[in-house]
Amino acid sequence: MWDNYIKDFSYYIHVEKALSRNTAISYVMDVEKLAGYVEEKEWNKRPWELTHDDLATFVGQCSKKGGLSPRSLSRMVSAIKAFYRYLNVEDYTDLNPAQLLEAPRLPRHLPEVLTIEEVDALIAAVPLGSDEGERNRVILEVLYGCGLRVSELTTMKMSDMFLPDGFIRVRGKGDKERFVPINDRAAKLMEMYINEVRPHVPVKKAYSDTIFLSRRGTSLTRAMIFTIIRRAGEAAGIKKVISPHTLRHSFATHLLQGGADISDIQLMLGHSSISTTEIYTHIDMRRLVEVMESYHPLNKK
């Protein structure tokens, strides 16, 4: 009974709302679970014939019996809300029983952040003298210098470079494009890599416009980027658990500490909501607390 609604919903969030592939797949699976729950109950109800209590009971059962984490439950609630908004937009119904459905409150996790000295040590730890080493140094410089997600780096194209103007074009979540400033040092290294290093790689035709290439001439994978950073961290003697996202977090935190406006940081990171960017104000406050605890005379006593 729900199959056609779910099929059209899948098209809607993939094409019209341009959600990322993984998010869209997860949303469809969550709505399919709701449809399965309705079928199991033998309710013979169309989506808009469910009540708020029906939906709340379903989410509650997923929490208790399904063993879903708060984050998975929160995504499920978002999926159900998106499904009913779609039904409203497409004029299937004016009713929206999911409107007041509440997601579980997620604990706010403060990500690991490197100091400026640790970032410098990380980049300096990359062994140079080879095409691979030169490429890896540029990767770290650009991840930190532009605050990129790892997926944004691996999909970056030659045609996205506007280095003389000090910008690069980035394709973020949902294939949304934005322009991000690139600092002079990172821009010069990028230009050197493109002109002097990349030409040595035997590029496969499908990747002729891809900037960062593996030795086989294909685009780098996420796992490769993680390995590059892990090895550099070990060589630099950094004890923190670091990943590509650590450099993104460090980029935003250092900008905020330097006095940048949070709305500008939001634009550079490609966050759709300012609330996502506000986590960096918490990181900065944590640093201030540590400073107070370390240096305030009453704490010393």
The set of catalytic residues is: 149, 173, 245, 248, 271, 280
The DSSP symbol for 217 reads: S
Tokens linked to 242: 């670091």
**Residue 211 is which amino acid?**
I
Q: How many CA atoms lie within 13 A of 293 on its CB side?
A: 6
The DSSP symbol for 55 reads: H
Task: Determine the Cα–Cα distance for residues 277 and 284; give it in Å rounded to an integer.
Answer: 12
Sheet containing strand 161-162, edge to edge, reads: 161-162, 167-171, 177-181
Helix (H, G, I), strand (E, B) or coil at 157: strand
E strand spans, 126-255: 161-162, 167-171, 177-181
Q: How many CA atoms lie within 13 A of 29 on its CB side?
A: 9
For the CA atoms of 149, 155, 160, 162, the dihedral, rounded to the nearest 10 degrees, stands at 50
Tell me how far the alpha carbon of residue 85 is from its chain's centroid. Answer: 24
10 Å Cβ neighbour count for 165? 11
Task: Determine the Cα–Cα distance for residues 68 and 125; give it in Å rounded to an integer.
Answer: 41
